Each structure stands twice: as C-alpha cells, then as structure tokens.
Amino acid sequence: MTTRTADTDVPRRRARRGEGDRLREDILQATIGLLAETGDLDAVSIRAVAKRVGVTPPSIYLHFPDKQSLLDAACEPVFADLARYFAEACHGVSSPLERLGLMGVAYVQFALDNREPFRIVFMSRCESDTIMSMTPADLEAQTAFGPVIQTVVEAQQAGLLGAGNAREVAMRLWIGVHGVASLLISKPYFPWPPIEQLVNDFVCMVGLGLLVQTRVPGSAADKFATMLADLPVVESASPAGNVPKSAS
C-alpha cells in the first residue's frame, strides 16, 4: 500500500539495471506526443510530460539537463523527417530546377505538418543552439540542408543555374520558403490567399529570380537594367488579371 503522490494512471515499473535509457526514450516520445496532440508548447510542462510517462518530474532531469534540452531532443527525430519530405517530393523528377521548387513546397508542408517542433527549432530564442552552432560542413552533412545544396550544384552543372556559391544560393532559397512557412504558422488567421496558390506563386517568383540572378551577367543594377530592357513592355494602366499581350 504505497501512497502514490505521482499523479499518473499506470505507475511505471522501475527500469532494470542498465536500462535507464529506456526512460529517456519514453520521455522523448511523451514530449513529441504531447506537442503533436495539444499543438501548444505551453501545455508541455515538465510535470505534464512526467505524468504522461508515469514518473515524477525530477526523473526527467536524470536524462535531460533542462527543459530546453528536452524540447530540442524531442524535435530532432521530427526534423529527421524533413529529409524524407524532400526525397518524396523529388521522386522521379529529373530537372534539378524543378526539384528545388518541389523541395520548397515540401518545406512549407513539413512546417505545417509539424507546427510546434518547427516553432521550437526555428522561431524561438535559443542561446546555444545545437543545430545552428554546427560547422557548415556538419550542417550540410547532418541536416536536410545538404540535399538542397547538392541539387543546386546539379542545376549549375546542368547549365540551368549560373555559377555561384551553391551554399549561398541554397540559403537564399531556404530563406524564401522559410518566410512562407513561418508566417503561415505564426499568422494563421491572416487573410492569406489560398495556401497552395500562395506557395506556388512565391516559389515560382523565387525560382525565376534565381534564374535571372545567376545567369544574367553584371552587377545587380546591370541585371535589372538588362531585364527591364529585354522583357516585353507592359502598358501602364492595365485593368485586371493577366492580360495576354502581343509577345514579340
């Protein structure tokens, strides 16, 4: 008749010798589940996680130094999925340029499918960030950022994109779709256009921009001058919609 103060349904069996790490895994799963089900970071308190696991709060500190570390660790397996999103989006698509666009769309979809982890990793302050304090090399090797860079390189080698630092090009692409993802998450009630259209239009814009930026020679001003000169002139007061014009 032990008086259980731990407020839980099924009081965990204590782990066997050497199996202490089992609890660690259970804590992570409980955290991930709580994040996904509540969709609210505030609902994921140390006490709530402990209760779900069937253990008392201090036990968590045997496996994680503090709450932030727990959250970071819980987001890691979620983010491992991002690579899968990318792979599936690119499946069977040969053009590297098209693949980059599809990866962008997939990034937004991933963010919307994993809002809280995305928030934790990309939208909250983190002093000593595990993911982000990696060296550039590690970052490319261990995160989903690597495939993006690789695809940029392929596009360059195929002559679709002009030469340029592939890492920085990939960053620009990432930054762009990150704007979409983070705004859709933080401002869901904003009067956005239909999401699919919004994402497509944006990705299209960025893709075209990159094309021109890397292929037209000269300074930024030169590029603009060239494009303004080359593109068909549009009449000033156009009424509405995409008016088809006499192409030259």
Partner DNA sequence: GGTGGAAAGTTAGCGGTGTTCAGATAACAC
Partner DNA sequence: GTGTTATCTGAACACCGCTAACTTTCCACC
Q: Answer with the entry of DNA, a second copy, none that 84 interacts with (C-beta below 5 to 8 A by kind).
A: none
Tell me which residues in 156-175 interact with a second copy (CB under 8 A): 156-168, 171-172, 175
CA separation for the pair 26, 28 (Å, rounded): 5
Give how many residues touch DNA by CB under 7 A: 33
Tell me, what DSSP letter sits at residue 188? Answer: T
Q: Answer with the entry of DNA, a second copy, none that 193 interacts with (C-beta below 5 to 8 A by kind).
A: a second copy
CA separation for the pair 177, 122 (Å, rounded): 13
Tell me which residues in 45-74 interact with a second copy (CB under 8 A): none
Based on the shown chain and the rule CB under 7 A, indicate whether residue 184 belongs to the binding site for DNA. Answer: no
- Helix axis angle for 46-53 and 67-90, nearest 10°, is 70
Q: Answer with the entry of DNA, a second copy, none that 208 interacts with (C-beta below 5 to 8 A by kind).
A: a second copy
Among 18, 65, 92, 193, binds a second copy (CB under 8 A): 193
Tell me which residues in 19-38 interact with DNA (CB under 7 A): 19-20, 22-23
Based on the shown chain and the rule CB under 8 A, indicate whether residue 208 belongs to the binding site for a second copy. Answer: yes
CB atoms closer than 10 angstroms to residue 246:
5
Rg of the chain (C-alpha set) = 24
**Contact pattern for DNA over residues 43 through 72, marking x by CB under 7 A:** -xxxxx------xxxxx-xx--xxxx----
Based on the shown chain and the rule CB under 8 A, indicate whether residue 148 belongs to the binding site for a second copy. Answer: no
Based on the shown chain and the rule CB under 7 A, indicate whether residue 128 belongs to the binding site for DNA. Answer: no
Shortest distance, position 182 Cβ to DNA, whole Å:
24
Residue 91 phi/psi, 5° resolution?
-55, 120
CA separation for the pair 158, 142 (Å, rounded): 26
Based on the shown chain and the rule CB under 7 A, indicate whether residue 2 belongs to the binding site for DNA. Answer: yes
Please choose, from the candidates 211, 136, 198, 129, the residue with its C-alpha nearest in 3D space to the C-alpha of residue 171.
136
CB atoms closer than 10 angstroms to residue 178:
18
Based on the shown chain and the rule CB under 8 A, indicate whether residue 242 belongs to the binding site for a second copy. Answer: yes
CA dist 217 to 22, 97, 164, Å?
A: 58, 20, 12
Would you say 30 or 161 has its CB closer to a second copy? 161
Based on the shown chain and the rule CB under 8 A, indicate whether residue 234 belongs to the binding site for a second copy. Answer: yes
Length of the chain: 248
Any idea of the CA torsion for 200, 155, 88, 209, to the nearest 10 degrees?
-10
Stretch that binds DNA, among 8-16, 32-40, 120-128, 176-184 (CB under 7 A): 8-16
Residues near DNA (CB under 7 A): 2-6, 11-20, 22-23, 44-48, 55-59, 61-62, 65-68
